[in-house]
Amino acid sequence: MRYVKGSFSYLLIFAILPISVWNCGKVEKGRFFNDQAYHFQTIRALNDARSDGAETGEVLEAVKNIKEGDPQSWFSAWENLGNQVLERADQIQDPMSRGQAYLRAHNYLRTAEFFLDPEDEKRPSAFDKSVEVFHKGLDSLGVKYEKIRVPYGEYQLNAIYYPGPSGADHKPLIVLVGGFDSTLEELYFVLVRGAYERGFSVLTYEGPGQGSVLRKQNLGFTPEWEKPTKAVLDTFLASHTKPPKTILVGMSLGGYLAPRAAAFDKRFDGVVAYDVLYDFGEVAERTVPGIILWLEKKNYDNIIEFLVTIKSSFSPSFSWGVKNGKWTMKTKTSGETLKAFRAYTLESSAEKINQDVLILAGTEDHFIPIKQVEDFKRKLTNARSVTSVLYDRASGGGQHCQLGAQALWQADFFDWMKRFEKK
C-alpha cells in the first residue's frame, strides 16, 4: 500500500490528532505556551537562574516575541536576547557581573537553537557561539575547570572537570551526564555550582548523541552507555588521583544511561536516576497513536511516515521529537527510530546494579510515566540500597527533572550523598 485514500485516510488522520489541536485561544493559566515543548523549554531556560544562567525579566521579554510552534520565531527571540546580553557583558568592567552576563548569554543562545531542524544552517554557528561565551563566563568569574579530551575509537568524547574547594579530595567525586538533548556546558548549571558550594568536585561529560560529539562528529547514541562512560573515567583517572568514592548522576535520558553504565562499571559507588527512565521504548510509544503501533506490526512503513508527517504539522512537540530522534539515533525513518528507542531499557541490566541507587521522579512528568519508578525498583534486586523520591505538583517539582525546582531536588540529593561521606 503506497497511499492512503478515501474515507480510510480520514479515519487515520482523525485517529492521530490530539484533542488539544482544537483547543485554540489564550494560553492556559500558569503556562508560557500551550504547547508542552515550548512551555517546558522556557522553564528550562529559567531553571538556570539560581546558577547565574538566567534573569526572569529577560526571559519574560523574550517569550513575548515568540509565535508558538514556530521554530524560527523561537530562534530569533532567544538569539536577539542572547546577543543583547552579550553586548552588555562586553562593556561591563566588574568581572563577576561580566561573567554572570556571559553565562546568561550562553544559556539564551543554547536555547535559541533548540527547535531548529538539525540541518538548519543557523544551528552550527549558534552552538559554537554559545560554547565560546560559556567559557568566557567561567573565565571572568574565576571558575576553575579543566577540559578533557577522551579517546573513543576513531572519535573523541569531551569532559569538563570542575575541582571543588579545599577538602574536596576527601569527598566523593560526582560524575554527571545529560540526556536526549543535553549539552556539556549546561551541566554546569544543573549541578556543578550547587556541588561546589557544598565542597564537591564534579566531572561532567558528553557521549555519543550529545552536544558537540553529535554536532561535530555526527556520532549518534548507543544503548551500551558503559562504553563511553568507561572511556571517560579511564582517561580521567589516568591523570587524576582516584577519589574515595565516585557517584554517577544521569539527567533525563541519563536516567537510563547512568544506571546502565553503573551496572557494568563497579568503580561507581552510587548511581542517581534524575529522573527515572527505565524504558525509553515505552516513553516513545506513549507519544504515538495506537494505530501507528498496529501499522508497525503490519509493516506499513509508508503509511506510518504519512501519519507522522500529519501529526507533526499539528504538534510542535511531536515534530521536534521525531526530528531529534532521527538526528541523535542516526535513523532514517520514524519506524527505525522507534525500534532504536526500544533498545534503551534497563530490564536486563538493572539486576546487575549492586550500588546504592537514588531515583527521582515527578508525578506530572510529561515524558516518563510515574509507573517506571516501581518498574525500576522491582528489578533492582541486588542494589545495596534503593531510595526513591517523588515530587508532586504542589511541591513545585512535579515536572520532568524537577525543572523550576532546582533547590528542591538538590536538597534530597545532597542529603542522600551524606551516606558516602560517612563511610
The average confidence (pLDDT) of the chain is 90
Contact 229, 177 (CB under 8 A): yes
Secondary structure E strands in 191-283: 202-206, 246-251, 270-274
Say whether the peptide bond before residue 356 is cis (omega within 30 degrees of 0): no
Q: Which residue has the cell 571517560?
A: 232
Spans of all domains in the chain: 36-142, 144-279+344-423, 283-341
Dihedral of CA 46/48/54/57: which sign? Answer: positive
Contact 150, 239 (CB under 8 A): no
Helix (H/G/I), strand (E/B), else coil: 56: helix
Per-residue pLDDT reduced to its tens digit, 386-418: 999 999 999 999 999 999 899 999 999 999 999
Torsion, CA 390, CA 410, CA 271, CA 213, rounded to 10: 110
Closest CA to 339 of 379, 376, 291, 299: 299
Per-residue pLDDT reduced to its tens digit, 193-234: 999 999 999 999 999 999 999 999 999 999 999 999 999 999
Separation CA 218–CA 374 (nearest Å): 35
- 144-279+344-423 sits in which CATH class? alpha beta
Per-residue pLDDT reduced to its tens digit, 228-274: 999 999 999 999 999 999 999 999 999 999 999 999 999 999 999 99
Contact 205, 150 (CB under 8 A): yes
- Cell numbers that stand for 86 in this block: 552579550
What's residue 343's pLDDT? 96
- 36-142 sits in which CATH class? mainly alpha
Report which of residues 189 and 325 the model is more confident about: 189
